[in-house]
Amino acid sequence: MLSHDVDYRIIGSDIQVLEIELDPNETVIAEAGAMVYMEEGIAFETKMGDGSEPDQGLMGKLFSAGTRLITGESLFITHFTHRGGYGKSRVAFSAPYPGTIIPVNLGDMPNGLIVQKDGFLAAARGTKISVHFNQKFGAGLFGGEGFILQKLTGDGKAFVHAGGTIIEKKLNNELLRVDTGCVVAFEPSIDFSVARAGGLKSMIFGGEGLLLATLRGTGRVWIQSMPVKKLIQALAPGGSNTQKESGGVLGGLFGGVMDQ
């Protein structure tokens, strides 16, 4: 089905809000729990499936919902529709952690867009959300980042969320190595694989992680500066920033003695 043609604006800089303007009977789909506010005339309904195949049937909807569970997302998607008789009405969404919202026009991407498993925020109704498995052995062996992804296809607007600052790279038959958690999205023309990061010494003492993502080919790649995993590690008690607040290792040791 053809996607609904929705208008939007992105509010804020560090912790952004996506506000979508709907005409009567227009619908936008979003992750469960992403809604911030909605104006009069907006009605919402939680469904299994994205609504891109209205004649899908119960088994098809169950399969679609099951694939979302594999990616770690909610079983359901919320559909917001302008049920008012006239005029425009707005609904707004935000992601669960600080970052940047990327608007993409899937009509310019006939082969769709591959997105990290927690990157989808919202899209015009008619967008198809499916699971995408990376076939590379390395990604499957180490699992998690880069193995189970989502694929967005359609002809309307979709919105992807990323942590921190976003960098869009255009590769022209080139190679790019990236921290596995920093890859947000890429076009299907890009070959994605996961490989060991250097030698044993570099892996243990380098601080860059055990694995690196390798992106090769021609197409666009979106990279995030602060994936949610790193944000959690930095803020957690005993995380990487704990010693920095105490003036380094010695400061932490003397601080611990003085607290006795």
- Please state, in angstroms and as integers, the Cα–Cα distance from residue 211 to each residue in 114, 142, 180, 255, following that order: 20, 9, 7, 34
The token pair at 190 is 């890009």
Residue 1, in any domain of the structure = no
Residue 118, in any domain of the structure = yes
Q: The whole model's pTM is what?
A: 0.77
**Nearest to 28, CA basis, from 103, 85, 109, 99:** 103
Instruction: Specify the pLDDT at position 259.
Output: 46
Q: Could you tell me the mean pLDDT of each successive run of 10 residues in the chain, 260 residues long?
A: 83 90 94 92 85 57 52 72 90 89 93 89 90 57 57 93 92 92 92 71 52 90 84 65 48 44
Give residue 10's identity as a one-letter amino acid code: I
Instruction: Specify the pLDDT at position 138.
Output: 46
Instruction: Specify the pLDDT at position 1.
Output: 57
Q: Please, what is the end-to-end C-alpha distance for the chain in angstroms?
A: 67
Instruction: Specify the pLDDT at position 20.
Output: 96
Residue 127, in any domain of the structure = yes
**Nearest to 113, CA basis, from 72, 150, 166, 68:** 150
**Nearest to 128, CA basis, from 237, 11, 2, 219:** 2
Chain-centroid distance of CA 238 in Å reads 27
Instruction: Specify the pLDDT at position 129.
Output: 86
Residue 211, in any domain of the structure = yes
Alpha-carbon distance of 68 to 113, in angstroms, equals 16
Residue 184, in any domain of the structure = yes
Give residue 217's identity as a one-letter amino acid code: G
Residue 2, in any domain of the structure = no
Instruction: Specify the pLDDT at position 51.
Output: 67
- For the domain that residue 134 is a member of, what is the CATH number? 3.60.160.10
In 178-203, which positions are buried (b, 16+ CB within 10 angstroms) versus exposed (e)?
bbbbbbbbbbbebebbbeebeeeeee
Instruction: Specify the pLDDT at position 96.
Output: 79
Residue 248, in any domain of the structure = no
Residue 89, in any domain of the structure = yes
Instruction: Specify the pLDDT at position 157.
Output: 93
Range of the domain at 191: 7-236
- Please state, in angstroms and as integers, the Cα–Cα distance from residue 40 to each residue in 44, 92, 203, following that order: 12, 13, 55
Helix then strand then coil, in percent of the chain rounded to 5, is 20, 45, 35
Q: What total of structural domains would you count in the chain? A: 1
